[in-house]
Amino acid sequence: MQTDTPFTYDGPEALYQPIVDALTRVIDPEFALSIVDVGLIYGVTVTEEKCQVRMTMTSATCPLANLIVDEIQDELGRITPADLPTEVELLWEPPWTAARLSDHAKRFLGW
């Protein structure tokens, strides 16, 4: 299911908005904006076995990558079934660019 968010979502419709809200609560410290507004999330797939998040970082050398991944797992763990593990996959293709910033992020940054 493709949504109006900047990432794809495939899973139960009932989990869509809670997942978007949970990911929006995760802040990228570099920008002081949500990882959704920064455009770090490429896609989310929810199956009976897991919740898989495909994402990137603004840089492969991001020193806070583990912190962001932990926060994603914590936030999604609060809203998904207790027996549904969250798997975060870091991808580097396509590379992140400022074109992935939301309109809100661009306004916030004065672009």
Instruction: Fill in the DSSP letter of residue 95.
Output: P
What confidence score (pLDDT) does residue 4 get?
A: 58
Q: Is the pLDDT of residue 2 over 90?
A: no
Nearest 10 degrees: CA dihedral of 66, 48, 6, 24?
-50
Domains within the chain, CATH numbers bracketed: 8-94 (3.30.300.130)
| pTM summary value | 0.92
Contact between 44 and 80 under an 8 Å Cβ cutoff? The reply is no
pLDDT tens sequence across 14-67: 999 999 999 999 999 999 999 999 999 999 999 999 999 999 999 989 889 999
Does residue 94 have a cis peptide bond before it, meaning omega lies within 30 degrees of 0? Answer: yes
